[in-house]
A and B are shown apart, each in its own frame.
Chain A
């Protein structure tokens, strides 16, 4: 159920949009749904970020992953335990751009031994880090490359991206590596979830759903570019530019069903993003263990809702123990 339900969900989305193409619901699938998705996405992102940002961080709960800034002659770790704002910016950027913490990943292993308790060994385990980096960066490149459909002429900077991405040119059309990397990385993440018993145990249907979506998007994209399902890119460009200028072409030339599927899945991914775990894209910036300055003894961190509490005062304490204290020769405030 956990795996099948989201798979059926994605297949159903694909089937419905393909059917839409067949019966010519072009306006619905190529205009209404994309517009709605972008709207839902934008509202969602703003709402989500505000829902976090308006909540206070009452305490400085930095997770320190390096030497503190203390004595002058001890080298501190400016990025792992930052004591300056610049350091924190560096730390968060490392997380966002290079997945710093994920890079630390190690795997434990019990090595059995004769007549003794087994030994624990740790091995670096960069696979998740590599897979995640490949996944996210290829997603980014694919995303950026789509700008081609929204601009006329294609900007110079994009041509450079395309040139790099199309490095392995083998005839025509140019092969863009990023699409295949995206497909492979998403498949890797899916297999990880399916094959590692612990990971399978923690995975929910909503963990498989975005993976199927992305795989579906990458597959349909690749089909349109390299196979017999090739799409009329001029028509697509015409549509996209129209959408951008809020003047969707009244009667679009028929575009293939595969394009309908592709566009619908992309719309779903965007609409889904801010309301799901994919909001980690914004959340990672706001994580209090990473984005606070570590030097909490240097600067006072303010808790906006700090309130007075009942305490046991020294006066009460001395009242309870005065005789004993005096007998023991401990100084007291009231004789």
Chain B
């Protein structure tokens, strides 16, 4: 593992916003340790049949590209210009008004002008002008055209992997120009010649073969789930069942696999198990569709489809009626905006109906998949859950809207409704840092690796700051987020910026508050920490 030396937070937060005297048109990148990610390993690329597998490093002078790399990339750009109106419109109409500039967490945290979304786009736009517009061909630099050189490619790599595809910039742009779309296509172009990062490619390869990012084989998945069931039994005295690959279940349940392995995601997973048991839903896990997350989103549109296909396929094989999805960010971007289009129509499924409340989830009538926050909010609204929010009294909670559920779904009220019902102490962060204006954790889109640590801490600076604000003002000590990547990278982020604050998922809090039939007197929360004394008096 990379050992990145970080300056203390007070130092890192002194960001200089003075642009370099020379303009941005001359490509220049310095691969400073802590600000970039390791290259994709050849084995991962071979597993999924991606081009140009080889050992290389961004710090090498020679990136070992195919001889005609330039032709390949330009041809790739030409094809994509024809396939995506978004790409063409976004490249054509930016007025460089700068409204997006300081909306990017990487710009705020690094001050590097090329982290302004508008300039990140110009890196690609300049090449587009040069090779695909008449003005660029005639007037060159005057209209901001640049030739595609190896240095430009290196710049693309550096800055397209300093964008977490969070879409915050697109909220503020008067034309909705979405840098995430340009980053996705930019990364797709780089992938054509074998330029990518391992923290994306490894999960892609594992997900393709074993069904999940962590590479958990079927029997190990079962072991883990049984293990959590044991823990739940220790804490609550109730044995929850663990249905796996069960034909005849009504509902297929798909989660991000990170929650199966790593603290604190596992507590959220225990929360799911308790909730589903208590609600009496006839559901099943799948070892094949054991991942809802999809690093194809950070690779190429084709890879999104290849990795996502298993979800409908498994739903069909098991004969379920509809699909329920766990708490994950980018997973929900794929499920909400891509799955039906790429792998639908899901005409073999039924419109999701909660058998407990009778609610028909009309808003998911085509995709046939709902978010567990929607499911739980509906249960609570109909009074189907017995909850004791005082069991979360040790926590002063704030909620981090994950980028994708926020800006690609608009899932704002459901989780807040759930939190208000399972906790007594909930405080919002400042309004410019939540909901559609939420700030990224700094580690999404494959950037949550150790070698990229400085950039992660910089990118997470605005989020860290907002959490510290509510920590100092209200004593907030728990940051709740509905995303597996968040639960992993926000934990590191909090250790750096606000060490007093821990991270959890939504359903960990649900699990704590849930009063189960036949449970023993609860003494421990899901983390097996003692509950506050006097917290058992039910305050409904």
Enumerate chain A interface residues (CB-CB to B < 8 A): 2, 5, 48, 51-53, 55-71, 73-77, 80-81, 83, 95, 99, 101-102, 104-108, 110, 115-120, 122, 128, 132, 196-199, 201-207, 275-280, 283-284, 286-290, 294-303, 305-306, 309-314, 317-318, 320-321, 324-325, 327-331, 333
Contact = CB atoms under 8 A, between A and B. Distances in A.
Nearest to A117: B13
Contact of B83 (A55, A99, A314, A333): A55
Contacts of B13: 110, 117-118
Contacts of A70: 361, 363, 374, 411, 414
Interface of B: 9-10, 12-15, 17-19, 23-24, 49, 81-86, 88-90, 92-99, 101-102, 108, 113, 116, 118-119, 122, 134-135, 142-144, 167, 170-178, 181, 208-211, 217-219, 222-223, 244-247, 287-288, 301-302, 305-306, 309-310, 313-314, 317, 336-338, 340-342, 344-345, 359, 361-367, 369, 374, 377-378, 381, 406-414, 417, 430, 432-433, 436-437, 461-462, 465-466, 468-469, 497
Given A71-B377, A280-B175, A283-B93, A60 B341 contact: yes
A309 B306 contact: yes
Contact of A324 (B175, B219, B362, B365): B219
Contact of B338 (A59, A74, A310): A59
B288 A314 contact: yes
A239 to B, nearest CB: 31
Contacts of B23: 2, 201
B96 A298 contact: no
* Most chain B CB within a 10 A radius of its CB, from A48, A74, A306, A318: A74
Given A67-B413, A306-B342, A284 B85 contact: no
A287 B175 contact: yes
B366 A277 contact: no
A65 B171 contact: yes
B116 A198 contact: yes
A120 to B, nearest CB: 4
A198 B98 contact: yes
A297 B367 contact: yes
B313 A288 contact: no
B310 to A, nearest CB: 7
Contacts of A76: 410
Given A52-B85, A295-B363, A317-B210, 7 more contacts: A58-B301, A64-B410, A101-B176, A132-B174, A287-B93, A303-B342, A330-B244
A291 B337 CA distance: 15
B341 to A, nearest CB: 5
Nearest to B404: A64
Contact of B432 (A51, A63, A99, A106): A106
Given A196-B98, A297-B366, A120 B461 contact: yes
B106 to A, nearest CB: 13
B363 A297 contact: yes
Nearest to A51: B88
Contacts of A298: 362-366
Contact of A206 (B142, B365, B430, B462): B142
Given A71-B374, A299-B366, A101 B244 contact: no
A288 B18 contact: no
